[in-house]
Amino acid sequence: MGAAESFFNIEGPVFQEEKRLLGNEIHIWRYTRSVHLNPEEFFPFLSVGEIRKAVSFEYEFDREDYVIGRVLLRRLISQYSAKPPLEIQLLSTRSGKPYVDPVEYRFNFSCAQSGSEQVFVFSQADYIGVDLEFIDQDIDWLSLASLHFSASEMTALMRLSDDKRIASFYKLWTTKEAYMKALSKESMLSSKSFSVHTRGGSTAVLDPKNFGNARKFRFFHPTEIKGYSCTIATTSLSQGLKIFTIG
């Protein structure tokens, strides 16, 4: 068995039995790139469109992360559906986010990648999105925030002390991205069209165009991936997360 086949047919405790989502559970799968893999070895496990996108990447690590991410996604969907990975058809939203036919599959998922980390989140909730970002302490957060944050978010960020701004910037950024991903099958939101508010440890979204849906959202900020900011946006009533590590 070659490297690609071995990776695709991952063995280990978390893959030894079919996974089930019970009630309002949210499952998070984490993968850390620790060795270099040849993306072309995995092309037989991808669709024509995915191969076309893979070869379009300029940098090898970007190509590898995309290919491995798609292979793992099919493997994980297979865990919840008992359907062979190669028979799983991945659809795409207008923004390019993958999803599956909701009539055929009774769950939703979202995935994100940054640096050497990838996360995949599964839930039976109608809406779920995840974003993950490596925390760069030297980032030009002011320029990015000015382009993508609402006026109220900018005001809240500028009121913070210097030592709290970077962490708050990334928390806002990942929350907005996760929320937009969760709604990406229905609409393509502008990042400035809604505002994220945090108070007393809780997070809420003010979204005039999606007022009814926005009120149903809850946000989780798992801290298990050190050096990264991660947010999950969902309408699930889950009180907690189950985290699995791949590899």
Evaluated on CA atoms 84, 87, 92, 96, the torsion sign reads positive
Nearest to 120 by CA among 8, 47, 31: 31
Count CB atoms within 10 A of the CB of residue 147. 9
Q: Sheet containing 108-114: which strands, arranged edge to edge?
A: 108-114, 117-123, 26-32, 242-246
pTM of the model: 0.91
**Token pair for residue 26?**
């949210």
Q: Which among 185, 4, 172 has a CA at the least distance from the CA of 85? A: 4
Which pLDDT belongs to residue 6? Answer: 56
pLDDT at residue number 102: 86
Distance between CA atoms of 96 and 101, rounded to whole angstroms?
A: 15
- Contact in structure between 225 and 116 (CB atoms under 8 Å): no
The dihedral sign for the CA sequence 81, 19, 48, 96: positive
Inter-residue contact 158 to 203 (CB < 8 Å): no
pLDDT value for 205: 94
Quote the pLDDT of residue 213.
80
Rounded CA-CA distance 24/107 in Å is: 11
Buried b (16+ CB within 10 A) or exposed e, 55-69: eeeeeeeebbbbbbb
- Report the chain (247 residues): mean pLDDT per 10 consecutive residues: 54 58 91 91 91 94 95 94 90 88 92 97 95 97 96 95 94 96 86 90 88 88 95 90 89
pLDDT digits (tens, 9 = 90+) for 107-163: 999 999 999 999 999 999 999 999 999 999 999 999 999 999 999 999 999 999 999
Helix, strand, coil abundance in the chain, percent, nearest 5: 40, 25, 40
Q: What pLDDT shows up at residue 17?
A: 59
